Amino acid sequence: MTRSWRGPGLGAPALALPALGLLASVVYPLALTAPTALGGGAPGRVFATSWFQAAALHTATIALAATTGCILLALMLGLVFAFLPFPGAGLVSRAIDTVIALPTFLVALAFTFFYGSAGVVNEALMALLHTDIAPLAFLYTKWGVIMIEITVYTPFVLRPLLAAFAQIDPAQLEMASSLGAGPWRIVRGIILPAALPALLAGGSLCLLLTVNEFGVLFFIGARGVITLPLLIYDKAIQEFDYPAACAVALANVALSLSLFALYRAVLRRLAADADV
> Within 88-147, which residues bind other proteins (CB under 8 A)?
92, 95-96, 98-107, 109-115, 118-121, 123-124, 127, 147
Residue 192: C-alpha distances to residues 168, 180, 184, 222 (Å): 11, 18, 10, 36
> Considering only residues 150-189, where is the footprint of other proteins by CB under 8 A?
150-151, 154, 166, 170, 173-174, 183, 186-187
Q: How far is the CB of 234 from other proteins (least distance, A)?
A: 10
Among 208, 222, 225, 226, binds other proteins (CB under 8 A): 208
Q: CA-to-CA distance for 189 and 173, rounded, in angstroms?
A: 10
Nearest to 247 by CA among 232, 233, 259: 232
User: Counting contacts by CB under 8 A, is residue 218 touching other proteins?
Assistant: yes
Burial of 109 (0-12, 13-18, 19+ CB in 10 A): middle
Task: Mention every residue, 6+ apart, whose C-beta is less than 8 A from residue 50.
Answer: none
User: Counting contacts by CB under 8 A, is residue 204 touching other proteins?
Assistant: no
Q: How far is the CB of 258 from other proteins (least distance, A)?
A: 10
Query: Using CB under 8 A, which of the segments 49-57, 81-89, 192-200, 265-273 binds other proteins?
Result: 81-89
User: Counting contacts by CB under 8 A, is residue 237 touching other proteins?
Assistant: yes
Select 7 or 224, whichever has its Cβ closest to other proteins: 7
DSSP assignment of 131-165, as one string? -SS-S---TTSHHHHHHHHHHHHHHHHHHHHHHHH
Q: How far is the CB of 197 from other proteins (least distance, A)?
A: 17
